[in-house]
Amino acid sequence: MLKISSLIMTISVLSFSAIANPESQKYLGFNYPHKAQNAVSITFDDARHSQVDVGTAILNRHQVKATFYVSPFNVKQRLTQWQDAVKSGHEIANHTSSHVCTGNFEWLRAQDLSLEHTTLKWLENDILSAQQYLKDHLGVTPRAFAYPCGNTFVGRGIDTKSYVPLIAKHFDSGRTWLDESANNPNFTDFAQLTGLRIDGMSFDEIITMLDQLRENNAWLILAGHEVGNGDQYTTDAKVLEQLLVYLKDPANGYWLDTVSNVSDYVRQQRKPLN
């Protein structure tokens, strides 16, 4: 009896894996510059003031280029500093004009904004108006996008539509938020790159997360909001500094660059998996 049930289990496991991945390929490996095992990108969202008040000075001191996913309403309030960030070589990327995401956030619904009540056309205009602002005021044309709140839809229920294709049409990459996985360089969809939280975490917690997710040459994209010391939306300035020192040490095996620089490299070098 036992034997029969274990046989049935074996058959069902085998048939499930065959259906789930009919042409699964074994891991092919991936070579990064400088013989690094992994790529890592440091990113910040929203153009929070502390990013240019505190963050860029730390990054510049360590000669690290980060990717900033910005919304014009915040850039306007620190325009000169954001122009300086461009001069320092940081990547400026798009994060919409309105920062619209799910209307479960009451502060968005108070402004009559929610993805549940938005159309793809409205959202496209909102994204392109941010693109125009950044071109006019910072002299850059963003190639990367981050989904506000990590949400990738418009509408609700049976009428829900993905806006991932819209991002794939206008940008080289799109990044989500609060993901549980890093990017497999041979497989990841550039329009839905994963983003890992670093806000509110200690240096040891971040290193533990990197160690857990770095297998198979993963590309890890770290995402923060404020820089300084504060709440769960703040990347601690001292932790950021320690992290930069750690990631830049060749002994630790990381290649540190902006999202678009890594994405260009991965696109060129990957051996696409099914």
Query: Which residues of the chain form contacts with Zn ion (CB under 5 A)?
Result: 45-46, 148
Task: Give the nearest distance from C-beta 95 to Zn ion in angstroms.
Answer: 6
Least distance (Å) from Zn ion to the CB of residue 229?
20
Nearer to Zn ion, 82 or 254 (CB): 82
Identify which of residues 11 and 178 has a Cβ nearer to Zn ion in the complex. 178
> Smallest gap, in angstroms, from Cβ of residue 60 to Zn ion?
23
Closer by beta carbon to Zn ion, 134 or else 247: 134
Nearer to Zn ion, 98 or 263 (CB): 98
Measured from the CB atom, the residue of 45 and 226 that comes closer to Zn ion is: 45
| Closest CB 210 distance from Zn ion, rounded Å | 23
- State the amino acid at position 38 in one-letter form: N
* Nearer residue to Zn ion within complex by CB, 153 or 187: 153
Give dist(CA 37, CA 31) in Å, integer: 7
In the complex, least distance from residue 249 CB atom to Zn ion, rounded to whole angstroms: 30
CB closest to Zn ion, residue no? 45
Question: Smallest distance from the beta carbon of 250 to Zn ion, in angstroms?
Answer: 33
